[in-house]
Structure formats: C-alpha cells, structure tokens
Structure 1
Amino acid sequence: MGKLWLIRHAETYYNEACREWIRLGRPGNKNFQFEERFMDSTLTDLGIQQSQEMIPQVHSLDVQIVFVSPLRRALQTCDIIFKDHPNHPSVIVHPILHERFHNAHDVSVYEGSPFPEYSHFDWSLMNSNPHFHASICDNEYIKQIVGLSYQETRVKLLEMMSSIDPDFLENEEQLFRRGNKSKIIWREYCRTQNVALVSHSGFIRYFSGRLDNSGNIIQGTQLNNCEILDYQDDL
C-alpha cells in the first residue's frame, strides 16, 4: 500500500488579515471575512516564501500523483512546491478537496475554464462539472446556487455565509462525511502509488478526525500554513 501525505496551502492575504486582526485584539465583529477582496485569495509574499522554503522537503517525498483543491491558494502552493519535483508527478484538480464553505476566502472565482497559470494541471474533473459546488456539499444552502451564473453564485454564497455566521454552510458532520467519502478515492490510488493532497486546514482537520465511542466527531490534526501530515491511519 502506498503512502498518503496531506499538505496545507501557504499564507494568503486573508490569513494575513486574520493574523493582524488577532494582533490588534480582535476588534469589531470580523465582518472583513465577507469582503469580496478576499474571495479565493492568493498567496502573500510570505506565503510564496513559505512555499519555496518547503520545496526540499516536498521533493524528498516519493510522490507519484498529486491532487489539489480548486481554490487558488492551494493551486499556487501546489505549483510552487511540485514544480521540478524529481518524479514529475501528475497533478489533478479535485473539487472534493475544497475548503469548508464559511467566508469569502472559500468562494471560488473559477468560471468553468482552467486558470491560465495552472492550465498544465489536469482539470478534467472540474471541466466536466463547471458548477461544482453541489458535488462537494449537497445541502439546503448549496441547492440554492444550482443553476445560477458564476457571478450570481458568488454573491449568493457570500450572502448566505454572512447571514448564518458564525455557523458554516457546511456543518461539521457534512464535512466529516465528505472527508471519509474522499478516502475511498485515495485508497484506490494508494494501492499502487504514493499520493499527496494539497488542501486546507478545515478539510484536513476533519479528514484526519474520528468518532468517539458515543459517535461524536473528534477533530484531527490542525496544520499551519505549508505543513505536511504523513497520514498513517487506515483509509
């Protein structure tokens, strides 16, 4: 059986804003999290540096295939750390690795075509499903955006996120179930290959979580930006 590594993306402009908000003592009500400028945020200069600094560690991993979230912070991190990897692994964009829907950071600006700077990745799982949100989480909130235009989808997601905050559009049971569902996919690939997943803190935390004896969800590993989890549990 092959190995599985989970990698969290590097620092983004939204992460930077949260860090500054915490430094200032958490003033106000954190409404900046729903501002359009943070939609699908890319990496800061520090995030790019974090990615570059982890290249030797990533290149030491015997990875044959990589799956990456469709959000730009994950795509950018993945592109930096796996570029010129000695194995030249295939990189496949997979919607199931998307972060939990909570704020502008988690609203994709994807519009049905690969981002040009990442067109060398395999987008086939996205191109066959341009409105991919329902394949991630099919609940009463996500059903409201099916059939909307891309612009309408972004507006509606932000509107719903803001209206139910601090709750999430995708609750922890749904996210835990999504993580477990994805294990079926990785298990098949791990039969013959070593696999890396480039994703997000929320997804990874519930992917690596478990149920206690009472059936309650126990969250798993919280990764910092550009940290790697060597996943040792059974898939």
Structure 2
Amino acid sequence: MEQSVVIQESTFVKDTLSLSDNSSSTTGNSPSDSPQLGNSPQQQQEEMLALLHKQKHIMAHSISSLTSEITSDEGLMRELHQAKVIIIRHANSTFNLKWSQVEKEIKLQAPPEVDPFLSVVSDRDLLDCPLSDLGIKQCEEASATASRLANVSAVFISPLRRALQTAYLLFKSHPNFASINFVIHPHLRENMHTVCDVPEDWSVVEEQYRLLFPNLNTSFVQHVSKEGPWYISQLQDPTRTELKATLQSDVSKHHHDVVMEKVLATYPERVESAYNTNQRVQSFKHFLQGYMENSHGQICVVGHSQHFTYMTATKWNSFTEPPVEYRFLANCEFYPFDKHLTPVDI
C-alpha cells in the first residue's frame, strides 16, 4: 500500500505546481465596500444578517455545531459498505463551539453594529483548533460505524488538527488500525477563511500524530514544505507572493502573524479564492483516481465542511464562485462519495 502512495507523488508535485501557477486572486473588502447600516434597530439587524449570509459563513459554522446522527441504520451501513470512497467531516471543534455560542447570544441581544463573529475569527487560541468535548463525544459514538467498515485500507486526512484528531479517534479501535495506511494530504485542508483554517507549524503537528498512528505517510506535506510554510505555497497569486515577500522581508515575523493579518484584513471575504479551492479539489480527485488503480480496499477521506461542498458540488454559476448545489456534511457524518469521484474540468 505504501508503494502505491509513492508512485503518485510525482503526479502530486506536478499538480501542485500547476495549481500555484494558474489560480485566480481574491481581495478583501475596502471600507467603501462595506454596507451602510440602516438607522432603525430592525434595519440594522436585517442588513447585518444579510451581509453575513452573503458571505456564506453563518450556514457553514452554525450547521457545523450540530451533532451528527450517526446510527447503526442498516440502510446507511449497506451504502457505506458498497462505497469505494467515503468522506467524513471532522467532529465538532472548539471553533465550531464558540461560533454557535455567539449565534445564540446575538439572538438574545440588541442588533449588532459590527460583525459579532469577529471576536471568534480573530481568537488566536483557536488557530488550527482541536476538537471540543462535544466533538470527542461524537467521535466516540461514531467509532462503531468506522469499525464496521472492515475493508478500509487507506484513510486520507487533512493536515489540520481537528481532522487528524477525528481520524485517530474514529479508527483507533478499528480491527485493522495497525495496517491501515493513514495519509496526510495537503489538498484536503479547509478553504482559508478564519483563524481555525491557519495551520499550526507542521513540525509540531507531525511530531504529535506520528506517535498516534502506526502507519502514517506525511510525504505529501513534506513536498510542499520545502520553501516555507506548506499552506502558503498552495494559495493563489497575488496572495501567495505577497505573504512570501512579507516573510522574506522581515524574518523576525512568524508566519502565523503574517497570515492572521491577511485573514483579518480580508474578512468577511475569504483569503483563498473559490477558484483556487476548486483547483485543489479537482487535483485531489485526479490523484485519488490514480491511487485507486494501484490499491485494493475501501478508502476514507477525513476533511472539512467547505472543502467537501466543493468535492460534492454538482452545479456552479462560475468556477470563480462557490458551488450552488452540493452536499453539506454535519460533524462526524459519513457519506458515500463514489458518484462524485469524477474530476470536473475547470
């Protein structure tokens, strides 16, 4: 199994270079782009909520706070057993939890004058956040479903900690845990939007999770870590070049500080463009097809809500915009992915 991963590495590197060269850019809002809120409290609340819904991040994080109803339903298990590939969204994270708390608060208070979620977006304690206690409980409940997938031979995982923690908790009790090939793939990281999407230093993450997984392949992240923080090299230009130039001009600055400045300057827009995310997703689908030609057994993919909306998308108005028809997964939800395996030509 390890050999089949290595076979695909050269293709992955080529796809990554192509991705970096061809991505479109995204920019943040200038003050003149911000809407002027109405005078009455009702107008203020309606216009603020309209802005938040426009940015599509109320839905993304409010749904993420729900507990996935993973059961032993035999119909679901039949679908999962028949699938070649299953995608699994990470369990509830500390970011998800704080986001849902703010949502509850704004329903009980006066209409906000500024984006009430900004305090969550900028909370550095939530950088590359772990699972919440609720998320850990979700994994404990869903691990029975994972253990019933007897033919799993490989699990691809986002390099972000909430996905890695989910994968470990779901599969640590699997009968074949010691022989499953766990592969961390950088194309599975979440679309960069807030503090939780900014990865921890890779050396820290790798050291922690190499001790937990008996068979862990980190070579793909290492390939894109040769010229600085791996995730910056995956972003579109001019954002990628701008961030790299800032880091090179002031070596005393940590990449987290530089990237968080960009996150807050861009918010509520996203640092990473929809087109760039689309390219990453299609590149991973091509990779996955090649991997499946050289492997046997079932494959699971553990990742993120926004990224999975692109992976399951069936309709776009434009590839430079988020998809308009897709499957949104709840925390810890298992979803048969076979009908979405074919890459889309963008």
For the criterion TM > 0.5, the same-fold answer is: yes
| Counterparts in 2 of 1:221 and 1:151: CA distance versus 1, 3 Å | farther
Whether 2:334 is the aligned partner of 1:228: answer yes
| Counterparts in 2 of 1:118 and 1:151: CA distance versus 1, 3 Å | farther
For residue 333 of structure 2, what is the amino acid of its counterpart? Answer: E
Paired position in structure 1 for 2:37: none
Paired position in structure 2 for 1:129: 224
Q: Identity percentage over the alignment? A: 26
CA–CA separation in structure 2 for the residues paired with 1:208 and 1:224 = 14
Structure 1, 206-215 or 81-90: larger mean CA deviation? 206-215
CA–CA separation in structure 1 for the residues paired with 2:204 and 2:268 = 32
SS in 2 for 1:57: helix
Gaps of 5+ in 2: 1-81
| Counterparts in 2 of 1:8 and 1:212: CA distance versus 1, 3 Å | closer
Tell me the TM-score normalised to structure 2 length.
Answer: 0.63
* Aligned ranges 1:185-200 → 2 under 5 Å: 185-191=287-293, 192-193=295-296, 194-200=298-304
Match of 1:146 among 226, 233, 244: 244
CA–CA separation in structure 2 for the residues paired with 1:214 and 1:204 = 17
The CA RMSD measured in Å over matched residues stands at: 2.4
SS in 1 for 2:183: strand
CA–CA separation in structure 1 for the residues paired with 2:152 and 2:95 = 30
CA–CA separation in structure 2 for the residues paired with 1:83 and 1:117 = 15
Match of 1:24 among 86, 105, 117: 105
CA–CA separation in structure 1 for the residues paired with 2:338 and 2:144 = 22
In the TM superposition, residue 225 of structure 1 has moved relative to its aligned partner by 0.8
Could you say which structure has the larger radius of gyration? 2
For residue 94 of structure 1, what is the amino acid of its counterpart? Answer: H
CA–CA separation in structure 2 for the residues paired with 1:190 and 1:2 = 13
| Counterparts in 2 of 1:43 and 1:2: CA distance versus 1, 3 Å | closer
Paired position in structure 1 for 2:313: 209
Tell me the TM-score normalised to structure 1 length.
Answer: 0.90
CA–CA separation in structure 2 for the residues paired with 1:40 and 1:230 = 27
SS in 2 for 1:65: strand
CA deviations over 1:53-103 (Å, ceiling 9, x no partner): 100111222211011111110111111111132233110111110001001
In the TM superposition, residue 134 of structure 1 has moved relative to its aligned partner by 4.0
Structure 1, 199-208 or 116-125: larger mean CA deviation? 116-125
| Counterparts in 2 of 1:153 and 1:115: CA distance versus 1, 3 Å | same
In the TM superposition, residue 2 of structure 1 has moved relative to its aligned partner by 7.1
> Which has the larger share of helix?
2
CA deviations over 1:176-232 (Å, ceiling 9, x no partner): 222111100111222333211111001001111134587773341111110111113
For residue 256 of structure 2, what is the amino acid of its counterpart? Answer: R
CA–CA separation in structure 2 for the residues paired with 1:150 and 1:163 = 21
Whether 2:190 is the aligned partner of 1:99: answer yes
Match of 1:218 among 299, 318, 324: 324
Q: Please list every run of at least 4 consecutive aligned residues from structure 1 whose deviation after the TM superposition is greater than 4 angstroms.
A: 212-216
SS in 1 for 2:175: coil
Paired position in structure 2 for 1:177: 279
Paired position in structure 2 for 1:41: 129
CA contact (8 A) 2:236 2:276 kept: no
CA contact (8 A) 1:98 1:136 kept: no
